[in-house]
């Protein structure tokens, strides 16, 4: 190796070490943003950040809050985000945020106030979860410590994923999915809602319905059963969930059925000027529990249990469709489906879809099959 080559190699090595030092110094002057909150207050956007406090040497885990909440107002989202620097000594790393909490006032006013900045900003990750703060402010949601996970911006996405596997009620929505639906004709967005409530251990957070939108403005909420119906109506294959149904006889209590997999197919027909959505649901599940003492697990009861389960699922789907049509929110993407199968018809009626959608007829066919009864195929016989 020549002397000239050795000099060049030494310069490169020293340059690399210099870069590393700059990065460490930059991190020492930064703060990790776990969650963002945005609302509309006093004719401005109010931006809140949940920032994780760095662990200090010798500091115990229960020595105080593990996060700080900093809020600022601006005439635009970018201005509000940058005004945080007037109130906080470290540079907020917005790119680390896991959750975006939208306030009711902003959701009801116009999401166009923030969508352009969310789309363009390289600092706002498109895979973060989006929720609406129901009867609470985004600041309150971010400022509430949760059991086992003090950072609500991390806890809420985990709650959404866990309940989807265990209960199958709400669907996690990313910012990218939300923005795509806002930009796509023939479909309206929806996101889960959360609220702050008083528990025996102080303030707590719960998943509290689904916020549904007509274009850029929130129109209302789906309740728990309607939210589950929305998940059943989601085309494609879904897994996980639990449904509680009445036993064949009222005296027999109730039966818990674990949904292991299901699939929904939606077809649109246009005959004699009538648009009809034909929805076919096929689900499979396991007999999970019963609350009564009767011997329900008899061969002759299985078809009846399957029919009751299919009927409950159909009721949830119908309730969701009714609420969405009453609020004029095409959260199912029926307009998009119509455009794909009848493009010429869609070109004619797309401008009037808001008036047409509430009157679209939905025909639902639901079928459910029981597969397993877990460790026993008999009910417990009491003495």
pLDDT tens sequence across 220-254 = 999 999 999 999 998 877 788 899 988 887 667 88
Contact in structure between 261 and 277 (CB atoms under 8 Å): no
Q: Of 150, 137, 74, 152, which is closest to residue 102 (Cα–Cα)? A: 137
Q: How many CB atoms lie within 10 A of CB 58?
A: 6
Q: Which CATH superfamily is domain 224-383 in?
A: Nutrient germinant receptor protein C, domain 3 (3.30.300.210)
* pLDDT, position 323: 98
CA-CA-CA-CA dihedral for 26, 153, 323, 343, to nearest 10: 30
Q: Of 253, 263, 264, 260, which is closest to residue 305 (Cα–Cα)? A: 253
Give the C-alpha separation, 18 to 36, whole Å.
Answer: 33
Give the C-alpha separation, 306 to 303, whole Å.
Answer: 5
Which residues, other chains included, contact 228 with Cβ-Cβ below 8 Å and sequence gap of 6+? 168, 169, 241, 243, 316
Q: Of 319, 304, 307, which is closest to residue 227 (Cα–Cα)? A: 319
* pLDDT, position 207: 96
* pLDDT, position 6: 56
Which residues, other chains included, contact 144 with Cβ-Cβ below 8 Å and sequence gap of 6+? 152, 196, 203, 204, 205
Contact in structure between 133 and 192 (CB atoms under 8 Å): no
- Give the domain ranges of the chain: 22-222, 224-383
Helix (H) / strand (E) element for 36: namely: strand 30-41
Expressed in percent and rounded to 5, the helix, strand and coil fractions of the chain are: 40, 35, 25
Q: Name the stretches of the chain with pLDDT < 50.
A: 21-25, 57-58, 375, 380-382
In whole angstroms, what separates CA 1 from the centre of its chain? 59
* pLDDT, position 150: 87
Residue 227's Cβ-side half-sphere holds a number of Cα atoms within 13 Å equal to 25
* pLDDT, position 74: 93
Give the C-alpha separation, 297 to 289, whole Å.
Answer: 10
Pairing of strands 99-103, 129-133: parallel
Q: Where are the beta strands (DSSP E) in 201-332?
A: 202-214, 217-222, 236-238, 242-246, 254-271, 274-290
* pLDDT, position 238: 77
* pLDDT, position 57: 46
Classify residue 377 as left (phi > 0), alpha (psi -120 to 50) or beta. Answer: alpha
Model-wide pTM > 0.95: no
């Amino acid at each position: 190796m020549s002397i000239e080559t050795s000099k060049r190699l030494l310069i490169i090595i020293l340059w690399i070490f210099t870069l590393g030092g700059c990065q460490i110094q930059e991190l020492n002057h930064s703060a990790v943003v776990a969650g963002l909150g945005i609302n509309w207050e006093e004719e401005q956007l109010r931006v809140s950040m949940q920032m994780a406090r760095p662990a200090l040497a010798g500091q115990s885990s229960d020595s105080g809050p593990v996060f700080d909440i900093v809020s600022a107002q601006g005439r635009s989202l970018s201005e509000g985000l940058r005004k945080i620097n007037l109130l906080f000594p470290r540079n907020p790393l917005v790119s680390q945020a896991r959750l975006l909490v939208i306030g009711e006032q902003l959701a009801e006013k116009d999401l166009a106030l923030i969508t352009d900045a969310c789309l363009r900003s390289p600092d706002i990750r498109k895979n973060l979860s989006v929720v609406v703060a129901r009867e609470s402010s985004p600041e309150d949601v971010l400022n509430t410590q949760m059991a086992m996970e003090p950072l609500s911006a991390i806890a809420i996405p985990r709650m959404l994923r866990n309940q989807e596997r265990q209960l199958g009620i709400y669907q996690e929505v990313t910012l990218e999915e939300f923005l795509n639906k806002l930009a796509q004709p023939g479909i309206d967005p929806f996101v889960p809602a959360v609220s702050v409530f008083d528990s025996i251990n102080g303030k707590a957070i719960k998943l509290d319905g689904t916020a549904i939108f007509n274009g850029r403005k929130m129109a209302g909420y789906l309740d728990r059963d309607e939210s589950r119906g929305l998940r059943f109506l989601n085309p494609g294959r879904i897994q996980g969930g639990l449904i509680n149904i009445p036993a064949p006889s009222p005296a027999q209590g109730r039966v818990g059925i674990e949904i292991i997999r299901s699939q929904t197919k939606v077809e649109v027909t246009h005959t004699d000027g009538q648009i009809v959505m034909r929805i076919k649901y096929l689900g499979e599940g396991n007999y999970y529990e019963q609350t009564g003492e009767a011997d329900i697990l008899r061969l002759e009861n299985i078809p009846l249990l399957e029919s009751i389960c299919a009927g409950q699922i159909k009721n949830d789907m119908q309730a969701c469709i009714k609420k969405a049509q009453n609020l004029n929110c095409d959260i199912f993407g029926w307009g998009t489906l119509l455009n794909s199968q009848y493009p010429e018809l869609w070109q004619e009626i797309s401008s009037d879809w808001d008036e047409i959608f509430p009157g679209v007829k939905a025909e639902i066919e639901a079928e459910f099959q029981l597969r397993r009864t877990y460790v026993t195929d008999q009910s417990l016989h009491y003495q």
